[in-house]
Amino acid sequence: MSGRYRSRADGPLLALLGLSLAFVIAQGWFVARQTLPYAPLVACQTWLATWLARLTNLGVLLPAATIAVSLLAALLALCHQVWVTRRVLRRTLAEVQPAGPRLTRIAAEAGLSGRVDRVSDSAAFTFCHGLWRPRVCISDGLVELLDDAELLAVLDHEAHHGRHRDPLKILLGRSLASGLFFLPLAGALRNAYLAGKELSADAAACRRGGDLPLASALLKMLGAERPVWPAGVLAIGAMSPTEARLRQLVERQPSAPSLPGPMDWVVSAAMAAGILGFGQGAALAARVAPIHGACAPATAVVASPARLPSSSLPAAASTENLGFEPVPSMQDCLHACQRQDWCPR
């Protein structure tokens, strides 16, 4: 088998991370561009009201809401995965027992000395768990089912997951895809990574003893009792036989993970462009007076002319045309605020 999957396995995950960052940055840039105040507003301490007023514009509200919903969905998915994974691990690892001489020897050969948890369970399963210090959990049922060569191939597979911190990457990939649930491309990239990491681990396991031991182990696992775990929410690298993996091992035909199709790209691009395009169009249609107008509104000047010495007022707001001329310019407003505190309270 070729080892090229090792270098390509993380490609979809990196693409998903890039897609997430690009989407959030693009939406955030648009929102900031429409809502950030100018210097006079900061000087007059009215920036918050103006920012909130701009945010009520539908053209700004849609991208802002999209960012908020995406971040919330990603956070909820992350918390749910962590909670379910901890619950399953707590129940599964409650029956940890000594590894025994045979498993200890084979684990050391696979580079897993002191990092294998043997649990008392008749079902045949093994998985890599742990975000920072990955360990391998293996059941009595699987240890007794496999011979030494098959067990070594399985442990090599799980050791590869541990070396590449796949449990952490699984958690990240599923969370990012959940945050971009409205983009088909995100889900396709997540699925491509989940499939690619297994092919990569298979390639690593077969470099030592060839294809036959791992293929034999997978075939034995197909006919054995296996536990039923929550699907799609566990942050673990579980050993599971699939058609693509078996075909790759038995027929010796490398199976590349399914990559996003053209429709995934087209629909996702249309969705992202639609959100930004709608926001831009709505913002242009509902464009209000320049943002610096809130610094010294004419109504505020008329309401309390006594507190505004004529010497401190900009020319555009002189007492001769109070209430009838446009609001002071940005430069005049800033200069007046710097000379004397005449900003509305």
> How far is it, in rounded angstroms, from Cα 128 to Cα 159?
8
Beta bridge partners of 237: 128
The angle that helices 58-92 and 11-35 make with each other, rounded to 10 degrees, is: 140
At residue 67, does pLDDT exceed 50? yes
Using one digit for the tens of pLDDT, what is the confidence trace for 181-230? 999 999 999 999 998 888 889 888 888 888 889 989 988 988 888 777 77
3-state secondary structure of 237: strand
The edge-to-edge listing of strands for the beta sheet with 126-129 is 96-97, 116-119, 135-139, 126-129, 237-238
Q: Which residue has the higher pLDDT, 72 or 207?
A: 72
- Please report which confidence band the pLDDT of residue 51 belongs to, taking 50, 70 and 90 as the band edges: low
- Whole-prediction pTM: 0.74
At residue 343, does pLDDT exceed 50? no
- The average pLDDT across 50-67 equals 71
Cβ distance 89 to 123 under 8 Å? no
- The average pLDDT across 299-317 equals 45
Q: Which range, 53-57, 286-290, 313-317, 338-342, has the best average confidence (pLDDT)?
A: 53-57
At residue 138, does pLDDT exceed 90? yes
* Among 23, 20, 21, 103, CA closest to 274: 23
